[in-house]
Amino acid sequence: MFTGIVECLGQILSIQKNQNNVDFLIRASFLNELKIDQSVAHNGVCLTVVEVNENNYKVTAIDETLQKSNLGMLQINDFVNLERSLLFNGRIDGHLVQGHVDTTAKVTHIKDENGSWKIGFEYAQTKNNITVEKGSICVNGVSLTVVNSSYNSFEVAIIPYTWENTTFKYLKKNQDVNLEFDIIGKYVARIASLQNIA
């Protein structure tokens, strides 16, 4: 479980194909605190640390993960948003994030608002994935508030701190991002869809 508050940026040092899986070697500032078997969110995708070295750590993304996220598009030297799993002994500054990406979305626009940025996203409307105005959404592992919610698109407003300390500053139009929709919203939408069947 995560909060969607990014701890640091990690840099991809190596990408190795391993049958249908991909092994990533990543450099991160919290490397000396990592242990094998720990969970770390990479652009919002929960992956297990399988190896810790002096200068990097390794995680493996299986084919299912690569198909449903943007991890398969990463290249060497790219940066990813990193967050270690939540400790239940402090404040939850974002919202409860599982690290289970629902789908990807395309960046439709990035607008400089003279002190902040407004970024738009569009996604395929499936599996009861919905956003609501002022609700929570996790984009590439970052907990954000939805603005201008519509059927299969929404915007978020990015403050300077988030812009500087996440991969948002590297985003380009038409780039894919990972989305995890709010778990409460998903349950409500699922219940509503089942009532329509009954």
* 180 or 198: which leads in pLDDT: 180
The class of domain 103-197 in CATH terms is: mainly beta
CA distance 45 to 38: 13
The topology (CATH level 3) of 8-84 is: Elongation Factor Tu (Ef-tu); domain 3 (2.40.30)
Q: What is the pTM of this model?
A: 0.86
**CA nearest 138: which of 62, 191, 188, 81?**
81
Q: Which residue intervals of the chain bear CATH 2.40.30.20?
A: 8-84, 103-197
Provide DSSP, 56-118. Answer: -EEEEE-HHHHHHSSGGG--TT-EEEEEEPPPTTS---S--B-S---EEEEEEEEEE-SSSEE
Question: What is each CA distance from 112 to 107, 132, 161, in whole angstroms?
Answer: 14, 23, 14
Q: Which residues is 58 bridged to in the sheet? A: 25, 51
- For 68-112, write each residue's pLDDT tens digit: 999 999 999 999 999 999 887 777 777 888 899 999 999 999 999
Average pLDDT value for residue range 159-171:
95
- For 101-159, write each residue's pLDDT tens digit: 999 999 999 999 999 999 999 999 776 788 989 999 999 999 999 999 998 999 999 99
pLDDT reported for residue 81: 98
pLDDT reported for residue 37: 93
CA distance 169 to 81: 12
